[in-house]
Amino acid sequence: MLRAQLDHIISQVLDIAPETSDILFVPGKTLQAEVYGLLTDVKLNPDLGPLLPFQTEAVALCLMGQNMRVYR
């Protein structure tokens, strides 16, 4: 996953729910946002549906970038 793709997903979530405190990428579930302490399913365009394990791995790798210290 490219950083621009992840930025686009995060932007969509914040456009839908600006009060979001956390974004959860959980395999087997749709993308979720925590808003005022409650988890809310987020429908993106295009809809990702339930996330597959490789999709959540791609997000994690994108967030870690090339910082080798976090790969331990």
Q: Per-residue pLDDT tens for 13-56? A: 999 999 999 999 999 999 999 999 999 999 999 999 999 999 99
Q: What is the pLDDT of residue 59?
A: 95
Q: Where are the domains of the chain?
A: 3-65
For residue 24, what are the contacts with CB-CB under 8 A and spacing of at least 6?
Answer: 31, 32, 33, 34, 39
Q: What is the pLDDT of residue 69?
A: 78
